[in-house]
Every structure is written in C-alpha cells, then in structure tokens.
Amino acid sequence: MKDLKMVDPKILTISLNKEERELLLEELGCFISSLGDTKLKTSYMGLQNDISNGEVTYDNIQFLENLLELTLQSGHVRRQQSPQAEKSFQRIFYATPRGAAVKKTITETNKALSSLKGQELDTVSFAPRTPGSYRLVIDTKSCKIDLEITNQGLLVKSVEIGI
C-alpha cells in the first residue's frame, strides 16, 4: 500500500501499489460475478474502477471494507491466493476507517487489560449475552474488567480499580 491520504475528514483515499491492485481485482472479480443484485454489482464495479486506477476514493471505501472483511473472515483470500495476499489485505483493511476503529478498540482493550499485570486472578468468566455477543469479566482483588465481544469488535464496558 502506497499511502493513506486524509486531506479532509470527508475526503479519504487509499492508494494501492500494482501488486495490491492485482490481488484486489482478482478477489473483486470473483465477488462481483457472485452478486445477483444489479445495483450492488454497479457499486462494486465503481470500486473495481478505483482499484484499477490505483486509488480507492471516499465514495467506495465502504465497499472496499466490505470486500476485505468478507474475504478475510471467510479465509477465501488465503485459500485462493496466498498467506501473503491475506497479509496485504489485512494491511489495507487496517488503513480504512473501519479497520482503524478496530485497531483503536484493540489498543483500548489492551490498555484496560494491562491494569491486570502482576495481579492474581480471582475469577474469569465468559458468558453469552445475545447471539453473536459475549461478555468476558476478569476479576482480581483490586480490579475488575468487563469486556463485550461482538462481531463488530471489542468494547471495554467498565474498568473498576481499587475495589
């Protein structure tokens, strides 16, 4: 990936190198051919045009995010292309707004978990909340961390220190 340009919050572009363009175009071609909805196909063809030109524009970032999430979560890119292609797709994903939000959440979660360093765990419990949503509670003598895990990512619900 060449770079991520942010000039204005509403103007975001992601520049792609030749190898990334080739990998994305191969994956996107398979994806577009599987779509039945003509309007949706047209939207992804706009992304295809951006990728061919080497720069994904703000209007097509959400389609790029969707494609990357789908191919990474399903393991399709790794199976059909290579582990290197998968790593490339991960780098591109984390440069998107959705990927940056995931990275931020992980950083916040790791910060909360660092408060447990050196402490003896009293309880650790993992429980379902709703379909696709789980709660992880970690409790020590002086700290309690409550995390929610969903398909949208991690959320630090609370951190209680000195309890």
What pLDDT does 8 receive?
44
Helix residue ranges per DSSP H, 35-119: 38-53, 58-74, 76-80, 83-94, 97-114
Do the domain assignments include residue 105? no
Does position 6 have pLDDT exceeding 50, yes or no? no
Does position 145 have pLDDT exceeding 80, yes or no? yes
Does position 162 have pLDDT exceeding 80, yes or no? no
- Give the torsion through C-alpha atoms of 57, 7, 87, 105, to 10 deg: -110
What pLDDT does 130 receive?
84
62 and 10: one domain?
A: yes
Do the domain assignments include residue 89? yes
26 and 51: one domain?
A: yes
28 and 85: one domain?
A: yes
42 and 90: one domain?
A: yes
Do the domain assignments include residue 149? yes
Mean pLDDT of the region 65-85: 92
26 and 73: one domain?
A: yes
